[in-house]
Structure 1
Amino acid sequence: MTVRRLRRQGGEPWYDDAAGRLVRPYTISNGRTRPTAHFDLLTMVMATGRRPVSCQGPDYAQVLRLCGGPVSVAEIAAHIRLPAAVTKVLLADLVDCGAITARAPAAVSAGSASRTDRALLEAVLNGLRKRL
């Protein structure tokens, strides 16, 4: 998918300082709202080193640059300033073409032996109270 950068007569990109880029998010994902793979906001993704043939364009390149090390879906969405739903579609495309791998966050079972330490939680609460 290639996203053309709209340009004014002088060759300047169509940006509005207050609104940001003028290309709507649904055009980046070709109108798709559902990714082909499941992603949680905490899912960790990382580049495999493979250069995708089918997933090209500035948005895919930007996502791949961010995936040099393990990074969460939420962090990527924040960096590229796109809604999480659009980011998940881009990431699913990159997973489908083998350019990135994704790992879901580990689930914590209800009867887990690693209980929350009350003293730690109280120390965090006290620290927050001092800062506020």
Structure 2
Amino acid sequence: MKKSTLINAELSYLVATLGHTDEITICDAGLPIPQHVQRIDLALTHGVPSFLDTVKVILSESQIEAVLMATEFEKVSPKHHQALLAVLDQECLTTGKSIQIGYLSHEEFKQRTAQSRAVVRTGEYTPYANIIFQTGVVF
């Protein structure tokens, strides 16, 4: 049995096969997912698993160098946005590497998900709780 934090087989395989600058999206329960992009659906019920818990697990297993979010996230769900920024700040302290943070409109965000290797759907019901991770390298 796998010993590390991430035990979901699909997510574990995805993380293990990511290369530098590959992108993955972690989204709320409502984000549309492009047909051609792999869907990893974790949603069980309202709020389970949460967006932030899923983000933390992905961060525990992969090096991230940049993130993209919708500008609406900060405006519509400021508490959740601040909690996410705190998680990203902690990741920078833990790894000693910076994470570039970028924003685009929600419509542009939805279009950008088409470039993702996979979209991980959570049970999150907080509006605009979506993020695109761009992978970095550990060296």
Q: Same fold (TM over 0.5)?
A: no
TM-score (norm 1): 0.26
Q: Higher strand share goes to which structure?
A: 2
- When normalised by structure 2's length, the TM-score is 0.25
